[in-house]
Every structure is written in C-alpha cells, then in structure tokens.
Chain A
C-alpha cells in the first residue's frame, strides 16, 4: 500500500525514524488495537495511537462522560458530558486523524462477550480500573493468545507490563487471584493525578506501537513502576509462574470467570471502567 503525499507529510517525523520508514508506517496503518476503557488510561493511549495512524482502534466502555472525568480523560470535552464515552472518544479521534477507523463497543465486558470483542484485534490495551475486568481481560487474552498491555494507576503511582501469551508471564503470574472485596480502595476513594494516568496511558501506546513495529524490547517479563512524586521509574523482573492458575502447563482457571464486583462503591457506575 503506497502512502499518499498527505500521509507522508502527516507521518514524516516518524517515517524518518530508524525501524519505521515507509514499511513501518504501513504496519501501523494496518494495525488493529483494542483499547479497553475510554478513561484515564484509554483516553491518552487511544489519542496517541490514532495520531500515529493505527488503522483500526476499538473502544470499549459502557459509561457516559461525567464532569469529574475531564480532569484526566482527555478525549472528552465539557460539551460531551452525558454522551457515551465511546462516542465522545470516536468523535475526537476521528477529528484528529481520519485515517483511523474507530469501532465502538458500548458494552460492559463479561465472560460471554469478551472473546468475541477481542478476536478481531492484533493487540489489546487494558485501561480498566477494576479487578474483575482486569482478570477477565488477562484470562481471555491468555486463552485467545492475544498480546495484552496491562497498566494500573493509583494516586501517584502507576505500573505497566506487557503480556505475550505463550511467551512471557501473565498478570496472574504476578497476582494469581484478585484481592478480597474491599481490600483495595477504588480510584474514586484513592484519587488519581491526571498526569499519572497520562504517563501510563502513553506508555501503553508506546508498547502497542513497538509491538506493531516489532522493534525494541517490550515490557514482557518486566513490570515498570512509576512514581510521580519522586518522578522515578523502576523495573521489576517478573518470572513466569510455573504454577500460574491460567498460563502454566497445568492451569486451574480453564474458563472465564465473572468475578463479583467488589468495588466498595459498586453502586456508582463510575467505578466500573475508567
């Protein structure tokens, strides 16, 4: 597929890069990325993916834009309050880059629909903020052998790891089971600095782009931890757990589980997917 002059111009600053060039740009334009959650992580992540020219971006979210989202969820604007997040996101990303096809999934992921949703994409970015979704996405990606970029944020901290099923460790190698309900405060209770969400969301985009370009070293087997207060990054080695409940040779989790929503503020829908 030859690049149009407009595309060459639009993407020139990355075409120049070693390991990108016209062929790399072509890979980006053909890539399909699913971004779960159009919130604190999903917004900056999808923004950069669209800007880079990713051919197809799927947005998954069942919520509507609220005023308190705007402090960090930068694809939405004040005028969008009340609109489904996926629609608001689609509007903004289309405006940014018409090359990118935006597919909206205005639904809540569960064991019955997730495999269907992820099957059309090359890589999945998890921007959810709750444990049931996080474990569901991890398990589904391991079962469907979809690469997954996990990230989590809380207050001033963030973490990110890329999961390559069949190759590296998965999220359960790190945390085999979800914490008991109520043990971990939700982000609404804990609070979050918008810029922290931005840093992690953009790192997720970076991982997805490296995966698409097949260059650099993915954060597979490594958990990158960011602290905003001392502006530090550190990397922790994550070994593959030979007894991992889902990705080991003798898994105990063989079908998808809908963990009970245990967010202490579960009545508040804002708590489900950020």
Chain B
C-alpha cells in the first residue's frame, strides 16, 4: 500500500501557516490560490467553498481509507464523494478553514490531496485490475505506488511548467489509456526481466494528442531514472509563460521527437551520474484461488448483475464486482457501508476506476449472491458498468469554474433515456459515451466512442448551451484513437432527441458481431450528421426560451460565475466559435460566387472574435467593425491595413462587379488569416503584442477621402447637447451612404460627445480639426441608422 512520503507530511505545516495568513488577512486570496491549488484544492464556482482532490495511486484504496474519506466528506464537505477519471476521490464544498482539517485527518491514513491540482505530478494511474487481471503481463500497481512516493518527495514535482500525468498499463489492452498521458508505461518482459515500454507526450484537453514511443524497453530498475529524466527535460525546456501551449505534448510537437530524445538522453546521463534512484520495492501480494461457483438464483436482476458486473480474476474462483457509480458521485454514508463490506467478505479489496466506478475485488464466486443482496441495500443503481448506461461525465458548470455546460444534469437525463430504451439492445455493451461540460477533458471525451463537449454559441445575441459531437475514440496500445471532431454542434436541449434517434439507428445497423470500431470509423459520422441536422435549429429567444436554459437549471444560460483565471476557457471558446464561423462563411463565399452576404459575415465574425477579451460586446456588424478599428487597429495590435474594414464592408453590395467581389473576398480571407495570427500571439493574460507602432491621432488621418472633396457644412455652433447630435443625426439621415458632411461643433461637451455618438451609430469620423474656438468634424455616412 501507498505510504505518504514524510516530505509531504512535513509540508502540511507550510500549508497551515499560509492558510492562517489568509484567514488573518496577511495574504490575499489570489496569492493563496498559488498555495492552495498544488494542494489539490480547487475553488468551486462562486469561490466560497472548495473541492479537495485526494490522490489514490493506481486507484488502490483500502476500506479504512474509504471510511476516512467518507468521514471528511461528511464532517467538512457536502457529504458526497466523487470518483474521478484519474482514479482520485474528491470531496466537495469544503470551507476554506476546514481544508487543513481534511489534509491532517487524511494524513494518518496515508492519503493526501497534495499534487491534486496545479502544475504538479498528478495522480499516477494504473490498470484498475492490476494483479488480478487474467490478461496482464505483470502487476504494475506497485510501480505506480513506488513512483508516486518517489516523485512526491521532491519539491521539483510541484513547480512544473504545467501538469504532468503518468500512467501504467499491464497489457496492450491499455485500461489506463497510457497513450493520452505525458508518460505512459506499458508492462513488458524481455529476456525474463520485467520492464516497460515508454511513451511520452500524449494528453487530452485543448488539442489532444497521442504519445510517441520514447523507449522500446527499460528495465524496472531504470523506471525512476526514465520518468525523472522526462520530468527534468520538461521542467527545463517547457514554456511556463504560455499556459495554453505548455504541456509536454506541445514541447514535443514544437521541437520534434528527435530533439526531445537528445534532451532526454542527456538528462538521463546527468541523472545517472548524480543520483541513485531506487524506487521502493513493493512485492505484490496475490489473493489465494478458491473453489466454488456462482449460485443459481432465479432472479432476473441478479442474472443481469452476473452478466454485466462480474469479471473473472486470474485467480480461479474469484471475481471482480464492478459497481456502476452514476457520474462518479457516491454519498459518504453509502461509501462507508461499502467499506464495511470488508467485514463480511474476507480479502475484499477496493479500486477506483477510470470509468468513475468502484470495483470490489477478490469476491468468491460462491459469495456473489450474498454480496448482491447487500449491495441492493446500499445502492440503487449499480448494474451495467462499463456499458452504454455507464456515461462518464465531469463535474460540470455547477461546481467547476471552467465549466460551460451543466454536464451532470444532461448525463442524468441521458442515463434515464438509455435505461428506458436501450437495455438489452446490441448498443448496450458495444458503445460508451463520455460527456464533458467544456472542451477540457476531465470527462475524457477524446476517448469516448461517442463524446460530447460543452460549448457556447450565441443566437440572436443570447448565449445558448451547445454540445459538440465527437466520434470513434478508444484506448489500447495499438489502437488508441482520439475521438474525431465531427464539427456537429447540437443545442444542449436537443441532445436527448439526437441520442434517441442516433442510438436507435445504430442499434438497427449493428449486431453482436459487428466490429464497432470500423463501424464508427465508417458510416457513423454520416449518420450522425443526418440526425444532428434535424436537431441543430435553435428557435429565437422570443419563440422558445427553453433552449436558452441549460439542463438542471432554472435561470437563463450564462457564463456568469466562471472564475477570473478560469473564465479564460469560456472566452477561448467564444473566440474559437467566431473564428470557426468566419471560416464557414468564407468557404460559403468561395463556393457561392463570392456571395456578398457571406463575405460580410466573414468580416464580421473575424472582427468580433477577439473583441471579447478586450471587453467589447458589439451588438451588430458595424459595431464590431468599429470596435475592431478602435481596439485593435488604432491600439496598434493589428495590421493598419485593416483600418478600412468598414469601407470595404459598406461598399460591398449585390450590385458590386464580379471583379470587385473577388477582391473583397480575398481581402476578407487575408483579414481572417490575420486575426488568427493575432490570436496565436495572445499571451496567457490575454494580452497581444504590438503589431506596429500605434497610429497616433487616427481621427485626423484622412485616408479614404481625398482632401479636395468639398463637403457641405452643418453649423451646429451654439447648439447645445443633445440637440446638436439630434440635428446631426437628422442631417445624416437625409444624405446618401458614402457622402460626407463637415459639422461645426463647440468645444467642451459638444466635441466630446457628438463624434462619439455618431461613431456609435456606425458613421465614420474622418477627421477632427480645431479652428479658433470651435471644431470641424468631417463625418462620412456609412449606415442608415
């Protein structure tokens, strides 16, 4: 069993003193965040209570430990425990002053949230059935535990460029999905010696990637060196500045595997010279085989339990009982009761699985019915683990600062739909669904055969919860494939309708013998596209508000409550949606003879994309172009050649010549590419590098209208606010788009207010010149306001 290193136990006092500083007001909450998160303590939405993520190396947890966790959940949290997809167990809604009590209480049970968050070595995962799986090469759990002990003892493990995830699999089935970890270790035996094949640079989240082969084989003695060397290379070479692009996978992607290997070899050499790394030798203890059979009981439910929840162990006579824990949430009292089963079933061991389930191991076959009856007293719904019914899902927007959609509420509805319609169908055992409330991958959507991730789209200016559909994800050493982004976006409120049709259709097309992966690589996407189209439509806000309210919520959907650092994700999502829309319109323009409307839309979405990070939320298209001019071009963040966006936009009409349309199309394309470039250079604080020296006094620059054009004069000297603006507005109503007028305004309020108001209407201020005691403002009419 895992032993919490003394270094971690010792460092608890540091946490305590920082917490005291926070509570006495000596340090700010923002500063404390930097202390708290590496201790696995995340703020819940709203920032008032916290989640504590307790690491469970390889998912192996004792009855005592489960009881300790249950105790903390009840004494300090909301009484619910949550099993994560990385085999951690979380407790929720802990008050800040109680976080230390959780840490101290758990320490005596060799448990800790240390490294549960931030830029640290995260929970090292392993096959949930290590040591008891009939297929494994050897039991890897001891290595995962020993490696955790080694890495947690080092300070350097808590200040990496970003998080660092390590996983072990005992065979090529790859239950731990090592190819989507920063370091993946696969059990291998070479010349009778135990060791590992090593993969690096996999990961899920923004831009998921699968790992590359680093070492064909390392002996078990080299394990500590190998992982440490990778960690050190990452620590030295990783880009701490760019938080959106600094996982190990990006380092490797940017530099190539060859360069990375050179760094690694060098680091390995240095390590071997400098250190003697000897991981604790943990001898696996295997349970004793026994005799006896599953009793025959005429109970339909028990038969389903036998069929779906039981897995044969490599020790004969023993089985694993996998309990489906819906959405990973398990009330503390039930967890305690499950832990107490140890008294009735000698040798019982517990494992937390990547499917957010709890596994009971070493159950004698003869005891299965006895266990079943006890389980029925404890849990309501535990049959059909690891099936269509077992939807994996993150915690979602109710608790998570990053969350966009309330994924657990949707999942619960979806589970009902599956229960009512798809039990005993072919799809039940063949398909799995993973749902994430945002594009990050706590719900492991890149590995789902059918996956969703939450997103936000705006319809008529109102945010609407949407999910994006991904298909065909799977794990396995030779076959790991990240789910393919189908680009299909479905309103959250139509997801159930979509799934009903989609699963019905799949079910009619497959049977027990279908190779489900080739099915998903082939026709599934087209089918999904056809069905998604039926459910893509969002009625106007005035027509049906329901679409603007997320599952499990009463109030309208909004991004409200996303934390300051965390809101980045929502913002990024909005930017990506606009850029994706711009691209779609550009393509439509290309296909549709340079359609004027499509070109205009391309300009609009490109212009709006980045405005959100500058605090602008333009109401309409001209507003977006205006705002872009002000916040990007004139601020010197974008190429000045796009200062004439609006002219291009306005001058483009159905009557424009084909040649002109083509020119404008190319302009729009160039503009969109430019925006992408500017976006790429955005830093983690959402700042943009200067494109060129800021344009000074842009208003005075007369670039479009040659000076010789003589504009009529509207003399508003002596007319007070707001009558001068009213007069100017009425005047502009009666001239043609494209015409100009020179307006004379007094200094003070008039010159401060009138040009701004006209600009807000969508008109352009070509220049302002001061003459004696008044101002001449040259205005070009761009829109009928």
Contact = CB atoms under 8 A, between A and B. Distances in A.
Partners in one complex: yes
Interface of A: 3, 8-9, 12-13, 15-16, 18, 21-23, 217, 221-222, 235, 237
Contact of A16 (B725, B733, B734): B725
B542 interface: yes
B729 A15 contact: yes
Interface in B348-394: none
Interface string B710-726: 00000000000011011
Residue among B542, B723, B733 with max Cβ neighbours from chain A (10 Å): B542
A217 B545 CA distance: 14
Contact of A12 (B723, B733, B757): B723
Given A8-B727, A9-B723, A22-B734, 19 more contacts: A3-B730, A8-B723, A12-B722, A15-B726, A16-B722, A16-B726, A16-B729, A16-B757, A18-B761, A18-B785, A21-B729, A21-B733, A21-B785, A22-B730, A23-B733, A217-B542, A235-B545, A237-B543, A237-B544
24 contacts: A3-B730, A8-B727, A8-B730, A9-B723, A12-B723, A12-B726, A15-B726, A15-B729, A15-B730, A16-B725, A16-B726, A16-B729, A18-B761, A21-B733, A21-B785, A22-B729, A22-B733, A22-B734, A23-B733, A217-B542, A221-B542, A222-B542, A235-B545, A237-B544
Contacts of B785: 18, 21
B127 to A, nearest CB: 53
Contacts of B757: 16
Contacts of B727: 8
A248 B584 CA distance: 41
A9 B727 CA distance: 10
Interface in B745-783: 757, 761
Contacts of B544: 237
Nearest to A218: B542
Contacts of B542: 217, 221-222
A36 to B, nearest CB: 26
Contacts of A8: 723, 726-727, 730
Nearest to A18: B785
Nearest to B731: A22
Contacts of A12: 722-723, 726
A145 B702 CA distance: 53
Contacts of B545: 235
A221 B730 CA distance: 35
A221 B541 CA distance: 13
A70 B374 CA distance: 75
B91 to A, nearest CB: 38
B725 to A, nearest CB: 6
B731 to A, nearest CB: 9
B227 to A, nearest CB: 59
A78 to B, nearest CB: 37
Interface in B518-556: 542-545
Interface residues of B, number: 16
A13 B734 CA distance: 19
Nearest to A26: B733
Contacts of A15: 726, 729-730
Nearest to A3: B730
A235 B723 CA distance: 37
The 5 A-B residue pairs with the shortest CB-CB distance in the complex, in nearest-first order: A22-B730, A12-B726, A217-B542, A22-B733, A15-B726
Contacts of A3: 730
Contacts of A21: 729-730, 733, 785
Contacts of A16: 722, 725-726, 729, 757
A265 to B, nearest CB: 39
A30 B726 CA distance: 20
A195 to B, nearest CB: 27
Interface in B583-604: none
B762 to A, nearest CB: 9
A214 to B, nearest CB: 14
Residue among A9, A235, A237 with max Cβ neighbours from chain B (10 Å): A237
A13 B542 CA distance: 28
Contacts of B723: 8-9, 12
Contacts of A221: 542-543
A3 B729 CA distance: 13
B715 to A, nearest CB: 15
Nearest to A23: B733
Contacts of B733: 21-23
A16 B733 CA distance: 12
B728 to A, nearest CB: 10
A217 B543 CA distance: 10
Contacts of B734: 22
Nearest to A222: B542
Contacts of A237: 543-544
A221 B539 CA distance: 14
B547 to A, nearest CB: 12
Contacts of B761: 18
A22 B725 CA distance: 12
A15 B544 CA distance: 32
B545 to A, nearest CB: 8
A160 B247 CA distance: 57
Nearest to B732: A21
Interface in B183-204: none
A8 to B, nearest CB: 6
A268 to B, nearest CB: 41
Contacts of B543: 221, 237
A201 B224 CA distance: 79
A5 to B, nearest CB: 9
Contacts of B726: 8, 12, 15-16
B555 to A, nearest CB: 13
Contacts of A13: 722
A18 B760 CA distance: 10
A22 B730 CA distance: 6
Nearest to B540: A217
Contacts of A9: 723
A16 B732 CA distance: 12
B192 to A, nearest CB: 74
B761 to A, nearest CB: 7
A22 B727 CA distance: 9
A235 B757 CA distance: 34
Nearest to B734: A22
Contacts of B725: 16
Nearest to B722: A16
B650 to A, nearest CB: 17
A222 B543 CA distance: 8
A15 B785 CA distance: 11
A144 B20 CA distance: 76
Nearest to B460: A217
Nearest to B541: A217
Interface in B466-492: none
A8 B725 CA distance: 11
A224 to B, nearest CB: 11
B66 to A, nearest CB: 47
A196 to B, nearest CB: 25
A8 B730 CA distance: 9
Interface string B686-711: 00000000000000000000000000
A217 B723 CA distance: 29
Contacts of A23: 733
Interface in B411-441: none
